[in-house]
Amino acid sequence: MNRFLSALLLFLASSFCLAVEPPLALTDNPPARHIVVPGDTLWGISGKFLQQPWRWPELWRLNREQIRNPHRIYPGDIIVLERDSDGTPRLRIENARAEPKIYGQQLTQPIPSIPPNVINPFLSAPLVIEQGQLDDAPRIVATQQDRVFLATGDLAYVEGAAADVDMWQVYRRGRPLRDPETKDTLGFEAFYLGTARQLEPGTPAIFEIVTFKEEIGRGDRLVPATPPPLINYVPHKPEQAVDGRVISIYGGVNEAGRFSIIALNKGLQDGLEIGHVLSLQRNRVVVQRNDEGRKERVKVPEERYGLAFVFRCFERISYALVLQSNGPVTVNDYLRTP
Q: Are residues 50 and 87 in the same domain?
A: yes
> Does residue 136 sit within a domain?
yes
Report whether 326 contacts 303 (CB < 8 A). Answer: no
Query: pLDDT at residue 84 above 80?
Result: yes
pLDDT tier at 126, thresholds 50, 70, 90: low
Higher pLDDT, 293 or 75: 75
| pLDDT at residue 285, rounded to an integer | 67
Write the DSSP assignment of 260-296 as a string of letters: -EEEES--GGGT--TTBEEEEEE--EEEEE-TTS-EE
Higher pLDDT, 100 or 90: 90
> Does residue 94 sit within a domain?
yes
Picking from 22-26, 138-142, 264-268, which range would have the lowest pLDDT averaged per residue?
22-26
- Would you say how long the chain is, in residues? 338
Q: Are residues 162 and 143 in the same domain?
A: yes
Query: What distances in angstroms separate CA 177 from CA 131, 247, 248, 334, one per listed residue?
Result: 11, 7, 7, 16
| pLDDT at residue 230, rounded to an integer | 66
Domain boundary among 86, 117, 148: 117
| pLDDT at residue 123, rounded to an integer | 76
The partner residues of 264 in beta bridges, in order of sequence, read 246, 318
> Does residue 321 sit within a domain?
yes
| pLDDT at residue 306, rounded to an integer | 95
Question: String of b and e for 162-179 (b: at least 16 CB within 10 Å)?
Answer: eeeeeebbbbbbbeebee
| pLDDT at residue 103, rounded to an integer | 45
What mean pLDDT do residues 190-201 have? Answer: 92
pLDDT tier at 15, thresholds 50, 70, 90: very low
| pLDDT at residue 298, rounded to an integer | 74
Q: Are residues 19 and 79 in the same domain?
A: yes
User: Which residue, among 222, 170, 173, 209, has the nearest Cα to 193 in the 3D structure?
Assistant: 170
CA gap 297, 289 in Å, rounded = 9
How many separate domains does the chain show?
3
Q: Are residues 311 and 266 in the same domain?
A: yes
What mean pLDDT do residues 296-322 have? Answer: 88
Domain boundary among 68, 84, 117: 117
CA gap 284, 302 in Å, rounded = 7
Q: Where are the alpha helices (H) located in 69-194, listed in sequence order?
A: 100-103, 116-123
CA gap 127, 325 in Å, rounded = 23
What mean pLDDT do residues 86-109 have? Answer: 65
Mean model confidence pLDDT for the chain:
84
Higher pLDDT, 330 or 173: 330
> Does residue 229 sit within a domain?
no
Three-class DSSP category at 229: coil
Q: Are residues 211 and 272 in the same domain?
A: no
pLDDT tier at 192, thresholds 50, 70, 90: confident
The parent domain of residue 198 ranges over 125-224
| pLDDT at residue 107, rounded to an integer | 45
CA gap 18, 242 in Å, rounded = 11
CATH of the domain at 271: 2.40.10
| pLDDT at residue 168, rounded to an integer | 94
Question: Cβ contacts of residue 98 below 8 Å, gap of 6+?
Answer: 75, 76
Query: pLDDT at residue 300 above 50?
Result: yes
Q: What is the pLDDT of residues 48-74, one digit of tens each?
A: 999 999 999 999 998 888 887 777 888
Tell whether the torsion through CA atoms of 121, 125, 131 and 135 is positive or negative: negative
Q: Are residues 174 and 261 in the same domain?
A: no
> Does residue 6 sit within a domain?
no
The partner residues of 334 in beta bridges, in order of sequence, read 245, 281
Domain boundary among 58, 87, 117: 117
> Does residue 274 sit within a domain?
yes
Tell whether the torsion through CA atoms of 242, 247, 248 and 254 is positive or negative: positive
Highest mean pLDDT among 16-30, 132-146, 315-329: 315-329
